[in-house]
């Protein structure tokens, strides 16, 4: 039965019937999208907070220039940062796994006992834990994976490509972050345009929250509420900073 289950899981993994792309890259989509919305709206909100006269003096082209420069520069920085972070995560995992493999070779009895302790701590009876630990001990590579997951607490990051994660962060940043700027491509830099931009920002945050809800199956209120709340706080801070220049 165990072999059949293992083979089924392996076939599912080979056939690509595990988690989907949206689930795999949810962190990058949410992180990149939220940061793109907030940082781009910060430029727009800064102009609006500075006052309509200030925005008009600089012109709509200036708003778009600063906004687009910020959008693509930050998207590139975040994408490259995600790439380096993913590579570093893989390096740390490999080093920790090599250490775990050496420990298994040097002291197999200790590793066997630790496997039993882990299984019992997760609710398994001692007899079953003993039997399964015997099987795991005969497969050092699997034992190393098991110890990394349940003792060290590190999931294997090797299956996720750093380049793919970086690209997803970049694309998500651009796609969601362009929302606050869209009204300024069509309208002048006046208070009405800013209100439309604020609504577009709100709509983008809601869309991001809905995506999170769809992927995670958490409650709609939590997913959308948290996303809008976090993004709204950041946007409000940017507006207040711009307003402070008007006051001074």
Residue 12 is assigned to a structural domain of this protein? no
Residue 199 is assigned to a structural domain of this protein? yes
Q: Say if residue 213's pLDDT is above 70.
A: yes
- Rounded mean pLDDT of the chain? 77
Higher pLDDT, 201 or 24: 201
Instruction: Compute the distance between CA of residue 43 and CA of residue 238 in angstroms, rounded to an integer.
Output: 8
| DSSP code string of 131-183 | HHHHHHHT-HHHHHHHHIIIII-----TTS-HHHHHHHHHHHHHHHHTGGGHH
Q: What percent of the chain is modeled with pLDDT above 90?
A: 2
Q: Say if residue 6's pLDDT is above 70.
A: no
Instruction: Compute the distance between CA of residue 69 and CA of residue 72 in angstroms, rounded to an integer.
Output: 6
Q: Say if residue 3's pLDDT is above 50.
A: no
Residue 5 is assigned to a structural domain of this protein? no
Let me know if 86 is exposed, middle or buried by CB neighbors in 10 A (0-12, 13-18, 19+): buried
Which residue range(s) make up the domain with 106?
20-247
Sign of CA dihedral 11, 162, 214, 68: negative
The confidence score (pLDDT) of residue 44 equals 79
Residue 194 is assigned to a structural domain of this protein? yes
Going by C-alpha positions, the residue among 34, 45, 27 that lies closest to residue 74 is: 34
Instruction: Compute the distance between CA of residue 224 and CA of residue 165 in angstroms, rounded to an integer.
Output: 23
The confidence score (pLDDT) of residue 18 equals 43
Domain count, the chain: 1
Residue 13 is assigned to a structural domain of this protein? no
Residue 139 is assigned to a structural domain of this protein? yes
- Helix-helix angle 162-177:26-50, to 10 degrees: 30
Residue 3 is assigned to a structural domain of this protein? no
Residues 6 or more apart from 151 whose CB is under 8 A from it? 114, 118
| Lowest-pLDDT range of 3-7, 191-195, 213-217 | 3-7
Residue 111 is assigned to a structural domain of this protein? yes
């Amino acid at each position: 039965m165990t072999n059949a289950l293992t083979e089924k899981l392996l076939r599912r993994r080979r056939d690509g019937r595990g988690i989907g792309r949206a689930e795999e890259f949810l962190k990058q989509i949410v992180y990149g999208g939220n940061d793109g919305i907030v940082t781009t709206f910060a430029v727009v909100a800064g102009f609006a907070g500075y006052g309509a006269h200030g925005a008009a003096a600089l012109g709509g082209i200036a708003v778009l220039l600063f906004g687009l420069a910020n959008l693509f520069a930050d998207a590139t920085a975040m994408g490259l940062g995600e790439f380096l972070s993913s590579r570093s995560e893989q390096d740390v995992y490999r080093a920790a796994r090599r250490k775990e493999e050496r420990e298994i070779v040097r002291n197999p009895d200790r590793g066997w006992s630790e496997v039993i302790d882990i299984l019992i701590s997760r609710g398994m009876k001692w007899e079953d834990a003993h039997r399964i630990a015997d099987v795991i001990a005969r497969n050092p590579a699997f034992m190393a994976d098991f110890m990394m997951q349940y003792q060290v607490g590190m999931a294997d990051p090797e299956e996720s490509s750093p380049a793919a994660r970086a690209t997803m962060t970049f694309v998500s940043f651009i796609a969601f972050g362009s929302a606050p700027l869209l009204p300024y491509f069509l309208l002048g830099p006046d208070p009405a345009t800013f209100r439309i931009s604020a609504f577009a920002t709100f709509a983008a945050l809601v869309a991001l929250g809905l995506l999170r809800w769809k992927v995670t199956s958490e409650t709609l209120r939590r997913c959308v509420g948290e996303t809008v709340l976090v993004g709204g706080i950041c946007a409000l801070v940017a507006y207040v900073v711009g307003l402070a220049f008007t006051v001074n």
